[in-house]
Amino acid sequence: MGPLFQSGQPYALLPMGEELIRLWLNAGDVRSLKQIKAAVSVNKELLQFYWELGVDIIEQQKESILSLNRVESQ
């Protein structure tokens, strides 16, 4: 399947940029910034997993429908 953020993938779910996170934290707490980066990383992996799971489910549904159509037409 390839990298998560390529053409056709869910760009709306991209994490915030580091600069925006620093502004949001106001004080630039390094520990909090590291925690946010870790959470973004985990969320990115979960998003990738669920995206690929959804693609697999759709492919299996298509194959099931095609198989059912072949059996009915015989």
Q: What is the pLDDT of residues 32-60, one digit of tens each?
A: 777 878 888 899 999 999 999 999 999 99
Residue 67 domain-assigned? yes
Q: Is the pLDDT of residue 2 over 50?
A: no
Q: How confident is the model at residue 67 (pLDDT cuts 50, 70, 90)?
A: confident
2 within some domain: no
* 7 located within any domain: no
Q: Flag whether 31 is in a domain.
A: yes
pTM of this prediction exceeds 0.85: no
Please write down the long-range contacts of 18-26, taking CB distance under 8 Å and 24 or more positions apart: none
Number of folded domains that form the chain: 1
Backbone φ, ψ for residue 2 (5° rounding): 90, 180
- For residue 29, name the pLDDT band (cuts at 50, 70, 90): low
